[in-house]
Amino acid sequence: MQVLGIDIGGSGIKGAPVDTRTGKLLAERLRIKTPKGVDPQPVADVVAEIARAFEWKGPIGIGFPAPIKGGVAMMAANISDKWIGMNADELFSRITGCPSIVINDADAAGLAEMKFGAGKGQPGTVIMITLGTGIGTAIFHGGKLLPNTEFGHLDMNGKDAEHRASDAARQREDLSWKKYAKRLNKYLTALEKLFWPDLFIIGGGISKQSEKFIPLLKIETPVLPAQFLNEAGIVGAALAAEKSK
């Protein structure tokens, strides 16, 4: 099945058609800068622009940086508060003219990695962590997703973890890879103590540089980079739309 997958991030909105049988992108992805303020209408306009660029008429899956229940955004951490309580499924379906399904962005990335990537065949507990503007998390056990976890908001030295250990925090504070790995290690250790996972998968834009920080981590749980790198959200969003049919 072919589905248009779109990943809404804090800095960019990316999309491409996906073959959900293989997880392969069917065209080069299109990336458009996320509108300042991340308000609903400008974001919806970008999603519609991506759909038009691919002359898309079929289903659309959209990874979104918030917990999603029944298509409704439940909170707003790195997006406009105007999203809270809004039915994002209906908004995107209306503006694109295509049936659109919205899923938490980290959950989407996790779905891709569990079906086709680093988590494929893993029977235990897997935690997917996306490191970007914030920290997204997705937890799987026996391949089954527990949706809408928000462990990027765990406390680290009096702040949300994503304000200390996200890729945005690394860049904002100009941290060396050694110092950043130390912070990330502290965060992963906290998750270890809560869930005793069998595997961590690190995704988001920073996964392209995984060799610079994963070898510096000192935790018991194995840590792997996402095989889809920063395209995991696109592929997983498409899978979510396929499952909803």
Convert the pLDDT of each residue in 175-207 to its tens digit.
999 999 999 999 999 999 999 999 999 998 899
Tell me, yes or no, whether 145 and 182 share the same domain: yes
Domain that holds residue 133: 108-229
- Mean pLDDT taken over the chain: 95
Shared-domain flag, residues 117 and 224? yes
Residue 197 shares a structural domain with residue 114: yes
Q: What is the CATH number of the domain that holds 66?
A: 3.30.420.40
CA distance 117 to 123: 14
Give the model's pLDDT for residue 245: 66
User: In which band, very low, low, confident or very high, does the pLDDT at 78 lie, cut at 50, 70 and 90?
Assistant: confident
Q: What is the mean pLDDT of residues 9-32?
A: 95
Domain count within the chain: 2
